[in-house]
Structure 1
Amino acid sequence: METAKTAGLERPFVVQLAAAVLIATPLMDILTGQRTGSYLFDVVSWILIFGAGASLMVRHKSSWMLGIILCLSFVGYTGYTIVLAIGPGGNPVTQTAKLLDCLLVAFIVGSVFYFFRYPYLDRRQHWFAPTGSRFAAQIPVVINGSIQSQTVDLSYTGARIAVPQGSTFKKGDRVSLALTEINDILCHGQILDVQESFIRVHFEDTSAAEQELIRQWLSSQNLPKA
C-alpha cells in the first residue's frame, strides 16, 4: 500500500521575528540609556518583555501561553505607568513612545494567537508533559474491526494511518485501531486530521500500561523519527 509522505510542522516566522523584537527591546533601551542617561522603561518592564520574547522562541503551547501572559502583563504595567505620568511633569514624547510599544506588543499577542494552532504547533503536545516522539513505523492496523490498513507513523499518543482513496472518514470521528504487531493492542481514538490518503488519529482512553507497551515496542525497533 502506498503511504503518504510525512508533513512537518510549518515554522512560524512571524512569531520568531516578534520574539526577536521583544528580546532586543530591553537591550536597545539599556544601550540607548547608557549614552543618553534616560531610559524608556524600568527593570520590571525589561524583565517582562525579555521573558516574553524568550518564551515565544520555544515552540510549545505552554511556553507561548507564558509569553502571552508576560506580554499582557507588560501592556498592563506600562499602561499604568503612562497614566501615573499624566500631568505637568510628564514627558509627552516618552509617554507616546511607551504607548506605541504597548500597541506593538498587543499586535504581537494577536499574531501569536493566530499561530496558536496546527500546523505551527504540534497538536499532540500536552501542556506540561513531554510530547511523544513520532516514529516512521509501517505496521498493519485494523480500523473499526474491518478495514485493513497500515500506519505511516506512530507514537504512544497517536498514529497517522494510510487509507484508500474515497474513504468516508471525517474529522472528529471516533475509531478503533487494532495494532496486531504490538500484542494486538486495541486503541480507541479521535480523528484530528483527514487528508486524501491518510488520517491522523489521537489515542484516547489508552491506559498507562498500553502506552508504555507501545513506547517500548517503538524503542526496540530502532526506527527513524518522523
Structure 2
Amino acid sequence: MDMVESFRLKKSILIQTLSLAFLMAPFGNLAGELFMSGQSYWYSPVHWIRLFLQLKGQEQVLLMAIALAGAALMVPKKSSWFFAMVVLIWISFHNMHYFLSQKGPVWSIRLVPALFNLPVLIILFYFRYPYLDKRDHIVGGFRPRTNVNKDVLISGQPLRLKSLSLSGCFVEGALPGQTGEVYELELDPGVTVSIQLLYPYKEGWGAKFNDLTKAQKRHIKSILAQKITSTVV
C-alpha cells in the first residue's frame, strides 16, 4: 500500500509554555499555601507532600487534574487535547463555585489559578492545539488522505499535489507563504478552490479547504475515486 507520510505540525511555544505552567501549577499552589501561612520552609518538596496528604480528597484530585491537563496538552493527539479542555473547564467551574460560596474577601493564592484558567481556555479553543489535524472538527474523526500526485496551479504557480482529502491537501513545491495565508488552488481547468496554509513540511505545505461548494466537493470526490490507495494520517 502506498502510504502517505506522517506530517509533523509546527509546535507552538505559547501552548508548550502553558503546558509546562499547568504541570508546575500544583507545586506552585502548594508552595503558595505554605508561604501565605507563614511557613519558613514553603519551598521544600517534603512540606509540599505533607500538605498535599492533608488536603481533602476533592482538592487532591483537583491538583492532580491540573497536572494531567498540562501533560495532555503535550501529547500530539486530538483526544488528549479534548481531555485537557474538559479538565480545564471542570477546574474553572470548580474555582467559580469556590469563590461564589465564600463570604467576605476571597483574594488569596487560590485566585491565581482561577484567573489563569479562563484566558487559557479561550486561547486553546480559539487557536486549537497546533498538533491537531485541523482538517476536521475537534470531535470529528480523521478524514482519509489519498495520494494523488497531480499537477496543479496555486495562484498561477505550477506545483505538485501529493495528497488530497475532502477537507485538505498537501502541496509539494516552493510556495512563499506563511501559516494562515489564503491561496487559490486550481485542481483542473475551471475548477478552483480556496485553501489556507496550515503548516510547512519538508518541501511543501499542508493546507485546508475554505468553504467548499457542492460542485467543488463533487469534483474532489471524482479525483479521489480515481485513486485506490488511501490511509489515515
SS at match of 1:123: coil
CA distance in 1, matches of 2:19, 2:160: 37
Give CA-to-partner distance per residue, 1:82-111, whole Å, 9 cap, x none. Answer: x23x49xxxxxxx67xx3233134324434
Q: Does 1:75 align with 2:85?
A: no
TM-score (norm 2): 0.54
Q: Which has the higher contact order (CA 8 A, sep 6+)?
A: 2
Q: CA deviation at 1:164?
A: 4.1
Looking at structure 1, the residues matched to 99 and 196 of structure 2 have their Cα atoms a distance apart, in angstroms, of 44
Name which of 171, 177, 189 aligns with 2:187: 177
**CA offsets, 1:95-148, max 9 Å, x none?**
67xx3233134324434554644644443231321233556x460132269654
Give yes or no for contact 2:9–2:199 (8 Å, CA) kept in 1: no
2:193 — aligned with what?
Answer: 188
Alignment of 1:109-120 (within 5 A): 109-111=118-120, 113-114=122-123, 116-117=127-128, 119-120=130-131
The answer (yes or no) to whether the contact 2:164–2:224 under 8 Å persists in 1 is no
Secondary structure, aligned partner of 1:124: coil
Deviates more, 1:148-157 or 1:195-204: 195-204
Q: 1:124 — aligned with what?
A: 135
CA distance in 1, matches of 2:156, 2:110: 59
Q: CA RMSD in A?
A: 4.9
Q: Secondary structure at the match of 1:139?
A: strand
Partner of 2:9: 8
Contact 1:143 1:176 in 2 (8 A): yes
How much identity, in percent, do the aligned residues show?
13
Partner of 2:153: 143
Measured in 1, the distance between the counterparts of 2:181 and 2:155 equals 19
Q: Deviations over 1:18-64 (max 9, x none)?
A: 55457898xx799523xxxx63xx74x66766666656626546545
Pairing partner for 1:221 from 200, 209, 229: 229
Please give the alpha-carbon distance, in whole angstroms, between the structure 2 residues aligned to 1:145 and 1:166.
11
Instruction: Summarize the alignment of residues 24-43 of structure 1 with structure 2, pairs less than 5 Å apart.
Output: 32-33=53-54, 39=56, 43=58
TM-score, structure 1 length as denominator? 0.55
3-state SS of paired residue (2:110): helix
Aligned length in residues = 193
